[in-house]
Amino acid sequence: MGLQHAGCRAHESLISYRKSLPTFGNLLAIPVPTSASSVSDPTLRKPGRCKSRKLSVHTAAAAVETPAAPAAPAPATARAATVRRSTKETNVEVSINLDGNGVCTANTPVHFLNHMLDQLASHGLFNVMVEAEGDTWIDDHHTNEDIGLAVGTALSQALGDRKGIHRFGDFTAPLDEALVHVVLDLSGRPHLSFDLDIPTERIGTYDTQLVEHFFQSLANTSGMTLHIRQLAGSNSHHIVEATFKAFARALRKACEPDPRRAGQIASSKGVLTQA
């Protein structure tokens, strides 16, 4: 019985306390303590005002330093060159940009060679401009040769000291029944091994002997070791065009920067130029 009476008295006291509290409609207003000791955050005493509380992190802030932003890389030097060659037989101007997008402008009297220069630009992703005139009333030999010499010289100048490039390039290109393999090394040592079996003497008016002469001229002035091998083919046009496509792709690989080289020359002796 004593426990029941005690429980009843506690219940009655709770009811009396609730009745004594002010109300707003159906909501019960709970008084909030106002002493400074019971409220440490002033935002609780000012309804309608919001402030973010700041933590004391002076010690941690002093220990942690914000790293400096990395310096912006220096602009890359353009790998491009323009070469002019003038003799009593020809006038030739060649421009090449190794970091182009495959644009070719070839204005020479050797029309089949114009078509092949377009392959060089398109598949190498070089920008190539060739303007030439020559004594083609004799034949195309001098003009074909001097274009090759000028292209090789422009390539060598655009490569500069050849730091950071892959140096070696290798590609096999098909064109229908024709298949040609090209391997090259931008070593600074001119050499050509040429193994094409072109079945006709001419492609249109172009003397097919001039294909080898073009690549020999280019290798001489660019300082390139160049191997060209025909693996299959019976159509003269296909064989020669596959050769230029494979050459362009191999040259593109050799000229491209090697990120692991970090600007160093890809040679144990430290030199890839002829000088």
pLDDT one-digit tens code per residue, 189-246: 999 999 999 999 999 999 999 999 999 999 999 999 999 999 999 999 999 999 999 9
Query: Is residue 192 one of the residues assigned to a domain?
Result: yes
Question: How, if at all, do strands 225-232 and 191-195 pair?
Answer: parallel
Task: Quote the pLDDT of residue 264.
Answer: 67
Q: Which domain holds residue 218?
A: 82-255
Is there a contact between 230 and 239 (Cβ–Cβ < 8 Å)? yes
CA distance 204 to 192: 26
Query: Is residue 204 one of the residues assigned to a domain?
Result: yes
**How many structural domains is the chain composed of?**
1
Which are the contacts of 181, defined by CB distance < 8 A and separation ≥ 6? 170, 171, 172, 227, 228, 229, 230, 231, 246
pLDDT tens digit sequence for 156-204: 999 988 888 889 999 999 999 999 999 999 988 999 999 999 999 999 9
Query: Is residue 19 one of the residues assigned to a domain?
Result: no
User: Is the confidence at residue 18, as pLDDT, over 50?
Assistant: yes
- CATH code of residue 186: 3.30.230.40
**C-alpha pair distances (Å), 246 with each of 135, 145, 171:** 30, 20, 5
Query: Is residue 231 one of the residues assigned to a domain?
Result: yes
Query: Is residue 32 one of the residues assigned to a domain?
Result: no
What strand order describes the sheet that includes 127-134? Answer: 80-86, 90-97, 127-134, 104-107
pTM of the model: 0.71
Query: Is residue 74 one of the residues assigned to a domain?
Result: no
Cβ-count burial 14-49 (b if 16+ within 10 Å, e if not): eeeeeeeeeeeeeeeeeeeeeeeeeeeeeeeeeeee
**C-alpha pair distances (Å), 118 with each of 122, 160, 164:** 6, 24, 27
Task: Report the largest interatomic distance among the alpha carbons of the chain, rounded to a whole angstrom.
Answer: 136
CA distance 79 to 97: 6
Query: Is residue 123 one of the residues assigned to a domain?
Result: yes
Query: Is residue 275 one of the residues assigned to a domain?
Result: no
